């Protein structure tokens, strides 16, 4: 009888520990999920946009950008799933080639239209190409790096020399403003249409891109591309209806609302 009571106590303790551990893990995961909602303040200013060595990124020209806020991380699978559940959308109908969705990885397989809809759902928008490059270069804190936060791509980017798939957001070193993964991991849709010669006629103040073009801008490179394609000034474009497992998104806002979280780097 005594042995039975002791066994019962051990079983009860085991259940309590398991349940408690589950609650802790659940709370930890929820906290991690909320962490991905953070925004970084980008103080406006002037910068030199473009690269004289690129066939579509020249001429290098002066651009003035107004203040804005940008996601500290690329939008994750978990964040996009909440959007789908809230709006009655379905997750993209084909999975990444590595076997399924991973909640803390950047969302992929979203068209430009999907990305725009998500950004608007959270009260934001997609960045302009100029805003994206300004933030990627570090804004007023820029140190002139080739990649977003370093001249060493391995320090800040997932590319095809160090990865065979997407990786959890935020693992690599952030850039000068505290933003992660602007180089590599996944391409990020921008709001602008693409025009190879747009830089020749781009306005200086807050350029919005051409009225029409061959496709929508994407920036930053991805795990599927060579490191050189993950640089701050590299331009690329795709048809806005296309969905690929190397293309995702990041949200910007002109103003934050009461529920938005400002990154600790800005406090």
Residue-range definition of the domain harbouring residue 181: 38-266
160/223 same-domain check: yes
CATH number at residue 136: 3.90.1580.10
Mean pLDDT of the region 218-233:
98
Interval 162-217: pLDDT, tens = 999 999 999 999 999 999 999 999 999 999 999 999 999 999 999 999 999 989 99
Domains in the chain, number: 2
Instruction: Quote the pTM value.
Output: 0.87
85 and 27 belong to one structural domain: no
> pLDDT tens digit string along 37-49?
899 999 999 999 9
Which residues make beta-bridge pairs with 41?
69
Strands (E), the chain: 38-42, 45-49, 61-65, 68-71, 187-193, 216-219, 235-238, 247-248, 252-253, 261-262
Quote the CA–CA distance of 200 and 246 in Å, as a whole number: 29
Residues 22 and 147 in one domain: no
Do both 185 and 251 map to the same domain?
Answer: yes
**Beta bridge pairs of residue 76:** 106
CA distances from 191 to 20, 38, 111, 117, 163 (A): 45, 21, 12, 12, 28
186 and 145 within one domain: yes
Q: State the Cα–Cα distance between residues 251 and 127, nearest whole angstrom.
A: 7
Residue among 56, 63, 61, 60 at smallest CA distance from 197? 56
pLDDT in tens, 81-108: 999 999 999 999 877 878 889 999 999 9
The span from the CA of 182 to the CA of 77, in Å, is 17
Q: What is the DSSP letter of 200?
A: G
* Complete DSSP assignment for 53-99: TSSSS-S-EEEEE--EEEESSPPBHHHHHHHHHHHTPPPPSS--TTT
Same domain, 26 and 50: no
Q: Kindly state whether residues 196 and 257 are assigned to the same domain.
A: yes
What is the overall mean pLDDT for the chain? Answer: 88
One domain for residues 58 and 167: yes
- How many whole angstroms separate alpha carbon 57 and alpha carbon 52? 7
Rounded to whole angstroms, how far apart are CA atoms 192 and 209? 5
């Amino acid at each position: 009888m005594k042995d039975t009571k002791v066994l019962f106590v051990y079983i009860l303790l085991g259940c309590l520990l398991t349940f408690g551990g589950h609650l802790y893990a659940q709370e930890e995961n929820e906290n991690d999920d909320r962490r991905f909602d953070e925004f970084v303040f980008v103080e406006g200013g002037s910068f030199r946009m473009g690269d004289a060595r690129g066939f579509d990124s020249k001429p290098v020209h002066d651009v003035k950008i107004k203040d804005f806020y940008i996601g500290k991380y690329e939008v994750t699978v978990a964040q996009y799933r909440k959007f789908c559940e809230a709006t009655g959308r379905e997750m993209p109908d084909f999975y990444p080639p590595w076997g399924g969705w991973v909640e803390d990885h950047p969302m992929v397989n979203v068209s430009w239209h999907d990305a725009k809809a998500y950004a608007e759902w959270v009260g934001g928008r997609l960045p302009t190409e100029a805003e994206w490059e300004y933030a990627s270069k570090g804004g007023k804190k820029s140190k002139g790096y080739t990649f977003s936060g370093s001249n060493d791509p391995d320090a800040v980017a997932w590319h095809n020399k160090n990865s065979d798939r997407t990786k959890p957001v935020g693992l690599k070193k952030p850039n000068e403003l505290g933003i992660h993964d602007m180089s590599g991991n996944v391409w990020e849709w921008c709001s602008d249409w693409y025009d190879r010669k747009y830089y020749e006629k781009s306005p200086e103040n807050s350029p919005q891109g051409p009225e029409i073009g061959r496709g929508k801008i994407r920036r930053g490179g991805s795990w599927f591309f060579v490191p050189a394609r993950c640089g701050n000034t590299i331009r690329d474009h795709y048809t806005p209806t296309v969905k690929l497992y190397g293309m995702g998104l990041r949200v910007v806002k002109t103003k934050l609302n009461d529920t938005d979280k400002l990154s600790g780097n800005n406090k």
